[in-house]
Structure 1
Amino acid sequence: MPPSRTPKADVAQLIETIYAVAARPERWEEIISAVGAAAAAGPAAGAALSHLPGLDDVGPETKPALGVILLSPAGGVVGWNSVGEAMFRDRLGVVESRGLRFFNPSNHEALAHARARLAESGAAQVIVKFIQARDDDPHFAYMAPISATPPEMIADIAHAGNASAALIFPALEASDHLWRTIRESFGLTPAETRLAARLKDGLTLKEAAEDLNVSLNTVRNQLRAVFEKMGLNRQSDLVRALAQLSALSSSLQPVMPSTVSATEAGALRVAPPVLIHRLADRRALAYRVYGDPTGRPCMMVHQGLGSSLLPRGSDQLARDLGLYIVCAERPGTGRSDPRLDLSFHTVAEDLVALTEALGLSRMRIVAFMNGAAFALAYAGALGDRAERLLLVSGRRSGVVPETERDRRHPMILLHRRMARSAWAVGPLYALLRRRLSRRQVEAMVRTAASAPGDGAYLRSHPAVAEFVYDYMSECLARSSKGAARELVMASDTPTLDLPDLSAPISVWFGADDPAGPPDDFLAWLGRPCKEVRILPAVGHFLPHKHWPEVMAWLAADEGD
């Protein structure tokens, strides 16, 4: 280190960079250099970073949750969660067992109209506009039939089985999965919906007109139509209403027709519901199931910063291939509760418990990228019940030294530096979670496509960014702490002890994989593989490009 540089100065630079990126997310690549400069700063720097004002990560125990009130077929109130009661009492009225008592009588009519629309349309949800008691401003919520309400949202509400519908109030955070429902509920045209989306993103009317390539007079007319249809008077009311609604729509997944072809776009909209298994210690383990319940049992182990979301069409494709695929979310990520003694082996214990609870026996296993070590531990815990194992673009655990080659691949370089600077991972992941947006993810995905094969794939499949955004959003929905702990744990575990692993192993790598040649991964694996396959003209995006082949591998008979 040059004499003019000190660890303290490097940490100060990193802190300054974090705040700069928090204000301007497009500067995120500056983090790579800052982490590299501060890599040797040590534990004291971790203490300094762990208390950055405004960047502390809010966990599920304190982060505002969705408010839920469950309604009976006759209109009475069956049950509610504490957030739903508090939000309703604060803004609208009183929750009583015989029904909702609104301070503004017009809200009773709005609720009745919403119930009628829901019954007549058969939709997965409708939007209802209430008038707030304290300021007569609009407050929006979703109403959904109980059959379309995610089970984890009502799992802890007593008497939920007697409900016919759920009234769901938004938390404070926003996402971008509401436009289809807004169009259906208020009758907005596609052009009006596009304008509303841009105003929600913070564009002025002039900027929206330029972005949409129409005149300012046109967008003014469209805005007046939006106001009339949604019962609003001001642009600020529209933006606030959309922010309220957007927090809900990623949790409410309308039923849409499946498609056989696997693709990146729209995976979240057609995904099976998230299910919750209660482990022996009462922790929640979230998972999805795809395919035929009577089919061949398989476990998919997702990548780092991933979730149980698989590409669109996976459910129908699994049915066609006779597969029953389980994909669980690791402790502290997605909707799974954290585990204090996190390790590859304790995660394997959770997966084995889920396997047994579902009544499954011999399993075929596929893992992607940083999920490789978790899958190996799971296969080892299953012993001879693990039929075979495929590691796709596998990443080894432990700290991997930087090479000159890594400097050509910014995402790999960032991962290498975070792995050896574990004290910085928590704040960096908290920053990622707080600033996560589609534009941010699109920029990161473009950066990740640094190998020739990946660049070509991304140009022909730009919607891969949408899929990455969806599964990252699910991973970080409750907290970033679980994903950060996972990375730190993996960095601190250079080897795996797997004496009971007997399943034959297949390894697939892309010829352009920016993580390096597969020799390093195979050396870390330390055991013979039944198959090592190098696929041409692809790198980091191998799981996306060759998804049908992955599914076919799960379905193939021995020797095919």
Structure 2
Amino acid sequence: MTEEPRSMALADGRTLAWHEYGTPAGRPCLFLPGSSSSGLAGSPLHEAAERAGIRLLSLDRPGLGSSDRAPDRPLADWPADVIELLDKLGLDQVGILGHSAGGAFALAAAQRLGDRATAVVICAGSGPYAEAWYRDASAQTATSRVYYALARHTPRLFGALLSSGTARTPAAIDRTLALISRGSSPDAEFARTHPDATRQALAAVADGFRGGNSGPVDDARAVCQAWGFRVEDVSTPVDWWHGEQDGNVKPPAGRVMVERLPNATAHFIDGGHTLLFARPDPILAAFA
């Protein structure tokens, strides 16, 4: 388990960083966290990855945490970084795990890596918001519609709003934890019963803003703009997990993605947006 990231120099001179959790000699799996989150987001999965015998490579995407930006790059071009990382580490194959917005990056990696991806698991994954079929069928909340419209069309305003709403200090993280612990939803229940894991997740978002808001804005725009490939082009088998009470990425969004993916297995079960962290063992079992 590494709280301090490892890093490498990419061919274009940028730095790519990642954190490692689970079993160092285990089966390698690339973890792509949610929007704005650095690779510290893999910390709550450390023990489950150990139980599953997984070496979890939790990535700082460009502009997040310790990784340098790659502005104005379409999602389809991003997996070139992954290929350099795998080659650097001497890994012929890797599993891919994506959560929330990281699900879009997981699909991009799967589409590019082909047979180098041994298994692909997505939990509460985001779809292509630039596509009308996804916007119309995904039952987005009004907040989500505004959020992604701002990311696509007014990135400067989006960045200011994104930055102002992010807890950066331990005291602010504790206040946010208290706020999201209210109510009876599965996510509120998870925050109440797993406060340390929730703090770690919030700290990963704060770490994503280490270099300012430009990286998180780039990250969101890559998901919101045209991906550069079709969902139907992802031929690798995908296990799709989704909580039926997810209020962030609603279940219809997952169902329309499963319908479009040519080789997907769906798991829609009780749970919220934190399903991956609340029930990691059956989800990580796909990498066995």
Q: What TM-score do the two structures reach when normalised by structure 1? A: 0.45
Q: 2:21 is matched with which residue: 273, 278, 290?
A: 290
Aligned to 1:385: 116
Aligned to 2:201: 468
SS of equivalent to 1:331 = coil
Aligned to 1:528: 262
How do residues 161-176 of structure 1 correspond to structure 2 at under 5 angstroms? none
How do residues 217-236 of structure 1 correspond to structure 2 at under 5 angstroms? none
Q: Aligned in 2, Cα 1:472/1:356: closer, same or farther, shift over 3 Å?
A: same
1:192-216 Cα shifts (integer Å, max 9, x gaps): xxxxxxxxxxxxxxxxxxxxxxxxx
Aligned to 2:77: 346
Q: 2:143 is matched with which residue: 414, 425, 432?
A: 414
Q: Aligned in 2, Cα 1:420/1:442: closer, same or farther, shift over 3 Å?
A: farther
Say yes or no: does 1:485 pair with 2:218. Answer: yes
Say yes or no: does 1:543 pair with 2:276. Answer: yes
Aligned to 1:299: 30
1:388 aligned partner, one-letter code: A
Matched residues in 2 for 1:541 and 1:430: separation? Answer: 22
The answer to whether the Cα contact below 8 Å between 1:392 and 1:508 also exists between their aligned partners in 2 is yes
How do residues 111-510 of structure 1 correspond to structure 2 at under 5 angstroms? 271-310=2-41, 312=43, 314-315=45-46, 317-398=48-129, 413-422=142-151, 423=154, 424-432=157-165, 436-445=168-177, 446-447=179-180, 452-493=185-226, 496-497=229-230, 501-510=234-243
Higher relative contact order (CA 8 A, sep 6+): 2
The answer to whether the Cα contact below 8 Å between 1:425 and 1:488 also exists between their aligned partners in 2 is no
2:146 aligned partner, one-letter code: R
1:497 aligned partner, one-letter code: R
Q: Aligned in 2, Cα 1:456/1:320: closer, same or farther, shift over 3 Å?
A: closer
Deviates more, 1:278-287 or 1:357-366: 357-366
2:104 aligned partner, one-letter code: A
Which structure has the larger Rg over C-alpha atoms? 1
The answer to whether the Cα contact below 8 Å between 2:242 and 2:254 also exists between their aligned partners in 1 is no
Matched residues in 2 for 1:310 and 1:461: separation? Answer: 14
Q: Aligned in 2, Cα 1:305/1:450: closer, same or farther, shift over 3 Å?
A: farther
SS of equivalent to 1:519 = helix
Structure 1 stretches of 4+ moved >4 Å: 310-317, 399-403, 442-445, 447-451
SS of equivalent to 1:531 = strand
Q: Aligned in 2, Cα 1:294/1:497: closer, same or farther, shift over 3 Å?
A: same
1:548 aligned partner, one-letter code: D
1:293-351 Cα shifts (integer Å, max 9, x gaps): 43212111111121111455744553443322212111111110011342212221101
SS of equivalent to 1:485 = helix
Identity %: 23
Q: Aligned in 2, Cα 1:276/1:542: closer, same or farther, shift over 3 Å?
A: same
Matched residues in 2 for 1:396 and 1:449: separation? Answer: 28
SS of equivalent to 1:512 = coil
SS of equivalent to 1:280 = coil
- TM-superposed CA distance for 1:396, in Å, is 1.3
Matched residues in 2 for 1:295 and 1:329: separation? Answer: 21
The answer to whether the Cα contact below 8 Å between 1:284 and 1:335 also exists between their aligned partners in 2 is yes
Matched residues in 2 for 1:516 and 1:505: separation? Answer: 18
The answer to whether the Cα contact below 8 Å between 1:343 and 1:489 also exists between their aligned partners in 2 is yes
2:191 aligned partner, one-letter code: L
1:220-247 Cα shifts (integer Å, max 9, x gaps): xxxxxxxxxxxxxxxxxxxxxxxxxxxx
Deviates more, 1:413-422 or 1:314-323: 314-323
The answer to whether the Cα contact below 8 Å between 1:332 and 1:483 also exists between their aligned partners in 2 is yes
Matched residues in 2 for 1:431 and 1:496: separation? Answer: 33
Q: Aligned in 2, Cα 1:469/1:516: closer, same or farther, shift over 3 Å?
A: closer
2:216 aligned partner, one-letter code: A
1:344-391 Cα shifts (integer Å, max 9, x gaps): 122211011101111111221110000111111111111112122111
Matched residues in 1 for 2:36 and 2:181: separation? Answer: 14
2:78 aligned partner, one-letter code: V
SS of equivalent to 2:273 = coil
SS of equivalent to 2:40 = coil
The answer for unaligned runs of 5 or more in structure 2 is none
Matched residues in 2 for 1:442 and 1:415: separation? Answer: 24
Matched residues in 2 for 1:532 and 1:358: separation? Answer: 32
- TM-superposed CA distance for 1:548, in Å, is 2.9
Q: How many residues align?
A: 278
1:79-130 Cα shifts (integer Å, max 9, x gaps): xxxxxxxxxxxxxxxxxxxxxxxxxxxxxxxxxxxxxxxxxxxxxxxxxxxx
Q: Aligned in 2, Cα 1:364/1:304: closer, same or farther, shift over 3 Å?
A: same
The answer to whether the Cα contact below 8 Å between 2:236 and 2:263 also exists between their aligned partners in 1 is no
The answer to whether the Cα contact below 8 Å between 1:348 and 1:378 also exists between their aligned partners in 2 is yes
The answer to whether the Cα contact below 8 Å between 2:36 and 2:205 also exists between their aligned partners in 1 is yes
Matched residues in 2 for 1:330 and 1:540: separation? Answer: 21
SS of equivalent to 2:71 = coil
